[in-house]
Every structure is written in C-alpha cells, then in structure tokens.
Amino acid sequence: MTSNSASAEPRPESAGSVIPRHVDGTAPRHPVPRHVAIIMDGNGRWAKARGLPRAAGHKAGAEAARKVLRASGEAGVECLTLYAFSSENWRRPEAEINDLMGLLRFYLQSELNSLHREGIRLKIIGDHNAFKPDVAKMIDHAVSKTAANTRMTLAIALNYGARAEIVKAVGRIAGSGADMAQISEEMIDAALDTAELPPLDLLIRTSGEQRLSNFLLWQVAYSEMLFVDTLWPDFGAEALNAALADFAGRERRFGGL
C-alpha cells in the first residue's frame, strides 16, 4: 500500500486532506496540499552551467517563482512559502546580496498589482527590517495592500532562519507574561512567524541538496518532503504538478496506523 488517496476514509483536517476547489469551481482529482514550501536552490549552478554570472541565475529563479506561484494557485494550493533569502545568506559577497535585493525591488514593483488583482495575500516570514529601508518599506506596503486578499497566500521567507524564529517565538511568549512552566506546543505555534498559515503539508527542495538549511524546522515535523535534482530556474508548472501528484500518492500516518 503506497497510497490511500482513493480511500473513502476521512483524514484529519491537519493532514492536508481538505480538497480545495479550482478557481473554476471544479474539484481536483487528488488531495491537494494546503501549504507547500519550497527551498529554491540551484540558481548559481544553473548560471554556471551556462557560463553566465550568478545574477543571471537569480533572475531566472525569480521567473521560476512567478510561474510556480501561478501553477500553485491553479492547482488549489492555499499557501505557497518560498525561501528567498536565509539569515545565513548574509555570508555571500556583498555584490551578490545587492543583486538579490535589486531583484526583490524589481519584482515587488512589477508584480504587486497582479498579485493584488489575483487575490493573493503577501506574508513575510523572517526579519525583513534588516534590509535597506527602501526595500523594507516596499515590502511593508505590499503586505498591507494585499492583507485582505483571501484566494491564496504567498509567504516569502526573507532574512529567515528557523532557529531564530523559534527563539523569537519563545521571547514573545515570555514577554507576554505567560507562565513559562505552562508553555505548550500551541503557544509556540501561535507565536511563530507562520502562525496564520495552514499546517505545512509538503516541503520541496530543488538542486539535489538534501538538507533543510535552517528552514521551517518546527513546522516540518509531519510534512512530506520531496528532494528533486532539478535546478530551481528549471522548475516550473510541470515540475510543481509532478510534485503535487507525488504528494497525492503518499500515505500520511501522523504516528497512527
């Protein structure tokens, strides 16, 4: 038995078993993960293989993100979380960091209206206030402009590190005056940057690396994981749909039978 997707038995709400409808109202054939997160890795190697500068890989990677966002929405995914810049990526050369910030500026400007038109809410996880003030301001503007949208959530992890997120959550709880001897999983869940997002169903990493690189360490406890060799700029709608089909064929047990 590798699949229970055809089973008539209901699965727990948190199992990603909710079958959202497509935008056109038709039901998809398979259970669709409510929340997909992607470690978008391999931009540099993609560029190197073509004799291009790393910046060209990041630009192609941003285009891939655009396509994957659209494909996720069409498939009925409620929330897509993209790891765009880790708290460890500050270790890269300043010129590369500047290229990444330039791309972020460009896409925030060029995509904001279409995100809003398509009913997509933008959420940021991580600490984007460490970015240059103009970028931080653009991000805040995009988040507040799209805050009431309900069709889908795009969460972008910026200057994000999962350990720092957990430390920050515990600090928030302590600062609220809660009795720290009574701390619960629910309290930590609610204090994380991902508090308003659905439970993480599927984590994908591209480029053949099989590590989490400090991404969503708490949230991944019962997620399905998929590691693919495709370099991120080559990942598009087809690869996303293949990942969703793979997810649909998995049996999730959550510790039960």
Enumerate binding residues for ligand IPE (CB under 6 A).
Answer: 39-45, 83-86, 89, 100, 207, 209, 211, 213
- Which window, 24-32, 38-46, 91-99, 244-252, contacts Mg ion (CB under 5 A)? 38-46
Burial code (b: 16+ CB inside 10 Å, e: under 16) for 163-194 equals eebbebbbeebeeeeeeeeeeeeebbeebbbb
With binding defined as CB under 5 A, does residue 165 bind Mg ion? no
Decide which of Mg ion, ligand IPE, none touches 89; Cβ closer than 5 to 8 Å per partner kind.
ligand IPE
As a whole number of angstroms, the distance between CA 134 and CA 104 comes to: 11
With binding defined as CB under 5 A, does residue 41 bind Mg ion? yes
Decide whether 215 or 247 has the Cβ nearer to ligand IPE. Answer: 215
Decide which of ligand IPE, Mg ion, none touches 146; Cβ closer than 5 to 8 Å per partner kind.
none
Decide whether 83 or 247 has the Cβ nearer to ligand IPE. Answer: 83
Q: Is 41 a catalytic residue?
A: yes
| Tokens coding 171 | 């600090």
Decide whether 80 or 191 has the Cβ nearer to ligand IPE. Answer: 80
Decide whether 39 or 228 has the Cβ nearer to ligand IPE. Answer: 39
Decide whether 41 or 111 has the Cβ nearer to Mg ion. Answer: 41
DSSP 198: P
Decide which of Mg ion, ligand IPE, none touches 115; Cβ closer than 5 to 8 Å per partner kind.
none
Q: CB of 47: closest distance to ligand IPE in angstroms?
A: 8
Considering the candidates 4, 89, 149, 241, report the single residue annotated as catalytic. 89
The set of residues, in sequence order, having a beta carbon less than 8 Å from that of 173 and lying 6+ positions away, is 180, 183, 187, 188, 191
Closest-by-Cβ residue to ligand IPE is 44
Q: CB of 92: closest distance to Mg ion in angstroms?
A: 10
The site for Mg ion, by CB under 5 A, has a size of: 1
Neighbours of 130 (CB within 10 A): 12
With binding defined as CB under 5 A, does residue 85 bind Mg ion? no
The enclosing H or E element of 240 equals helix 237-248
The set of residues, in sequence order, having a beta carbon less than 8 Å from that of 108 and lying 6+ positions away, is 135, 138, 139, 142
Q: CB of 90: closest distance to ligand IPE in angstroms?
A: 10
SS3 at position 216? coil
As a whole number of angstroms, the distance between CA 214 and CA 43 comes to: 18
Neighbours of 8 (CB within 10 A): 5
Q: Is 89 a catalytic residue?
A: yes
Q: How many residues does the chain have?
A: 257
Sheet holding 152-160, edge to edge: 120-125, 152-160, 79-86, 35-39, 202-205, 224-227
With binding defined as CB under 5 A, does residue 193 bind Mg ion? no
As a whole number of angstroms, the distance between CA 240 and CA 104 comes to: 22
Decide which of Mg ion, ligand IPE, none touches 83; Cβ closer than 5 to 8 Å per partner kind.
ligand IPE
Residues annotated as catalytic are: 41, 89
- Interface contacts to Mg ion, rule CB under 5 A: 41
